[in-house]
Amino acid sequence: MWYYLDDEHVKQGTFDQVKMQDWFKKDFFDPMRMVSRSGDIFMTPLGLSFEDFKDSFSSGNKCTIPTIQTQIAINKFLETNRNEITKRIKSIIEDTEEDSYDSEEDSSNSQEDRNSEESSEEN
């Protein structure tokens, strides 16, 4: 049995695989539509949920959503390490922002250098 998030981000379901496949074939679902199976902790983009997206929900197309045991382990890891993960993410964001600022500053300095050179050549 399956769930999906609708356009208003409301969880809809449960629906059997046949119904989901019917809607998929009618282009109701795009690769970013969040789906989950009954019992799953996480919803996953449909495009990452099957080995072959174009055959989503068809029998024989292997579902690639992590097992419930794996989802529980991931969830426990995230809960246990939430503060450390948050610090690392903030650090990465800050580094990226600094790199972006440095690039803008370098670009600005290069333009000033070119303007200065052009002014010198004219005199």
User: Alpha-carbon distance 95 to 89, whole Å?
Assistant: 10
- Quote the pLDDT of residue 80: 85
Residue 89: predicted pLDDT: 82
Q: Are 56 and 24 in contact (CB under 8 A)?
A: yes
- The whole-number pLDDT of residue 49 equals 87
CA distance 78 to 70: 12
The sign of the CA dihedral 89, 48, 4, 68 is negative
Query: Is there a contact between 21 and 58 (Cβ–Cβ < 8 Å)?
Result: yes
Token pair of 65, please? 């959503």
pLDDT of residue 19: 95
Q: List per-residue pLDDT tens for the chain, 123 residues long.
A: 999 999 999 999 999 999 999 999 999 999 999 999 998 888 888 988 888 888 888 887 788 877 777 778 777 887 888 888 888 888 888 888 777 666 666 666 666 666 666 666 555
- H or E segment at 85? helix 82-122
